[in-house]
Amino acid sequence: MGGGYLLRTFGCQMNEHDSERIAGLLESGGYAPTQEAGIAQVIVFNTCAIRENADNRLYGNLGHLRPLKERNPRLRVVVAGCLAQKDQGQIRERAPWVDVVVGTHALPGLLELLKRSETEGPQMDVREFTEVFPSALPARREVAHHAWVSVSVGCDNACTFCIVPLVRGPQRSRAIGDVVAEVEGLARQGVVEVTLLGQNVNTYGRDLSVPGSGRDARFAELLRAVDGVAGIRRVRFTSPHPHDFTPDVVEAMAECEHICEHIHFPLQSGSDHVLRAMHRSYRSRRYLDWLGRIRAAIPNIAVTTDVIVGFPGETEEDFAATLAVVREARFDQAFTVQYSQRPGTPAASMPEQVPKEVVQERFDRLVALQERISLEKMGELVGETVEVLVEGLGRKGSVQGRTRTNKVVHLPGEIAPGTFVDARVISAHPHHLVGEPAGVAALAPTSSAAEPTAVA
Ligand code: SF4
């Protein structure tokens, strides 16, 4: 084996996490990264089944590879991720030049599948259960100072718009000791910020019993354990389910120094009728009550959310309820999407699909409201000094970083990624702040990101 590999990632943080493992595995097998399809020996699409038209996009991309494959039969074409798990054998029916189809639970066997495809022809592994946690595989991270850490995979809920239970299976959690050991190793490599990943991160541990205690592991315990890892200065997590939030998690967030003052708290809809149809097990009042409790315990916390507009059966009254919750909750940011039918999900076959133009008009009203609130929230920070962790280049000669509250800040000049800067905020925009350095607080160690090492 060996040669160049080109990896394209679609979708969520879980896929980014898995792509770091795919890259790490390929490099441990002697492949080197390349951006040029023409010289690559392996081309991998790590696919997402959530976005609208995801499959059309995949087959379009695969179509572009066909002439390349005809010119170079030794080129290996790999389809990984959620669409691989969902479409399985259909992928080769539609694109017979694909060599390997590897599902979300089968990543550890990727090198073996590639090798076998060279001698035995096309290979497919779409097994139903995870045997080796992806986090336990070698990884090639894109940045030195931040790492995704998968704490659980799969989900036991059944939200009617979501494909995750189908493609990622039931929840499986990693032992706390394994997660902490991984974070300790990351800290030794210079990582200063970790994001704990789980499809429903706050049900972490419900499938794990704590040895000798007769009870399940708890997400709050995990948070406290990761908070205590020397060298880690910021701990984030995503995505919690509002129904599964518990007081001990709020206490841990309030008490632990390194857990960032930001929570992503997916609302999806402000209408109880729509929440019921979505199989979301909280109601808008309970959602807002929890938000109140979280804000009372952590007063400067930033709150972001997801909202789906135009879910089947959503009436103007339902939509008005969403607007009302958005007004009351005053989110810092909201990731708003127009509902689209995702094959394989229960909602795709529900009657009363909302006409596209109605969805668009509601969507525009929601975005206008949220943009105004976001700008007001950002404006509250003008004149304040915030701690920024620099991530990389921004626009027009600036660098870009994030506050502990996950707000993007643009700073002038050249500052190395991984540097903590105290910055004074000089202007606010709906999606970012502009600041000027008030002092460099600390330099993060600069170890190599290439050292082999994860939607509620
Ligand atoms: S939206 Fe989140 S909680 Fe619901 S099924 Fe999908 S992953 Fe699970």
- Range with the poorest average pLDDT among 101-105, 328-332, 418-422: 101-105
Residue 262 has pLDDT above 70, yes or no: yes
Residues in the chain: 456
For residue 239, which atom of ligand 1 is closest to its CA? 2
pLDDT, tens digit, for every residue of 369-398? 999 999 999 999 999 999 999 998 877 789
DSSP string across 148-211: EEE-EES-S---TT--HHHHH-S-EEPPHHHHHHHHHHHHHTT--EEEEE-TTGGGTTTT-BPT
Confidence tier at 77 by pLDDT (50, 70, 90): very high
Please determine, for residue 449, whether its predicted confidence score (pLDDT) is greater than 70.
no
* CA–CA gap between residue 260 and residue 305 (Å, rounded): 16
Q: What number does the ligand 1 atom closest to the CA of 155 have?
A: 8
Q: What is the pLDDT of residue 304?
A: 97
Task: List Cα–Cα distances, 319 to 87, 131, 219, 362, in angstroms.
Answer: 34, 43, 33, 7
Q: Which of 236, 243, 254 is nearest to 282 (CA)?
A: 243
In 107-163, at which residue ranges do the beta strands (DSSP E only) sit? 123-125, 146-150, 152-153
Cβ(200) to ligand 1 under 6 A?
Answer: yes
As a whole number, mean pLDDT of residues 338-354 equals: 89
Decide which of 216 and 314 is more confident.
314
Split at pLDDT 50, 70, 90, the class of 447 is very low
AA identity, residue 292? G
pLDDT tens digits along 35-67:
998 899 999 999 988 766 677 788 898 999 999
Matching residue, tokens 């699909």:
353
| Residue 452, pLDDT score | 28
Q: State yes or no: pLDDT of 185 exceeds 80.
A: yes
Ligand 1 centroid to residue 156 C-alpha, Å: 8
Tell me the CA–centroid distance for residue 266 and ligand 1, in Å: 10
CA 88/CA 124 separation, integer angstroms: 8
Q: Which two tokens stand for residue 349?
A: 């076959």
> By alpha-carbon position, which residue is closest to atom 6 of ligand 1?
162
Q: From the CA of 3, how far away is ligand 1's center (Å)?
A: 38
Ligand 1 centroid distance, CA of 14 (Å):
13
Between the CA of 65 and the centroid of ligand 1 the distance, in Å, is: 33
Q: Which atom of ligand 1 is least distant from the CA of 162?
A: 6
Residue 445 has pLDDT above 50, yes or no: no
When the pLDDT of each residue in the chain is averaged and rounded to a whole number, the result is 90
Q: From ligand 1's centre to the CA of 276, what distance in Å? A: 14
Contact 375, 430 (CB under 8 A): yes
Please compute Rg for the chain using Cα positions: 22
Residue 372 has a CB neighbour count (10 Å cut-off) of 12
Return all residues near 30 (Cβ < 8 A) that are at least 6 apart. 1, 2
Using a 6 Å cutoff on CB, does residue 165 contact ligand 1? yes
The finding on whether 456 has its CB within 6 A of some atom of ligand 1 is yes
Q: How confident is the model at residue 212 (pLDDT cuts 50, 70, 90)?
A: low
Give 164 Cα–ligand 1 centroid separation in angstroms.
Answer: 6
Pick the range with the lowest mean pLDDT from 252-256, 348-352, 449-453. Answer: 449-453
pLDDT value for 342? 82
With the most atoms of ligand 1 within 8 angstroms of its CB, the residue from 13, 152, 159 to mutate is 159
pLDDT over 90 at 124, yes or no = yes
C-alpha torsion sign, points 114, 22, 80, 61:
negative
Geometric angle at alpha carbon 20, from 415 and 51, rounded to 5°: 100
pLDDT at 450: 30
Q: What's the rounded Cα separation, in Å, for the pair 109 and 131?
A: 11
- Compute φ and ψ for 54, nearest 5 degrees: -55, -40
Predicted confidence (pLDDT) at residue 255 exceeds the cutoff of 70: yes
Q: What is the DSSP letter of 39?
A: G
The mean pLDDT of 179-188, rounded to a whole number, is 96
Name the residue with the closest Cα to ligand 1, atom 1.
456
The arithmetic mean of pLDDT across residues 18-24, rounded, is 92
- The answer to whether residues 64 and 43 touch, using CB atoms and an 8 Å cutoff, is no
pTM of the predicted structure, to 2 decimals: 0.85
Pocket-testing residue among 13, 14, 82, 157, ligand 1, by greatest number of atoms within 8 A of Cβ: 157
Q: What is the pLDDT of residue 444?
A: 44
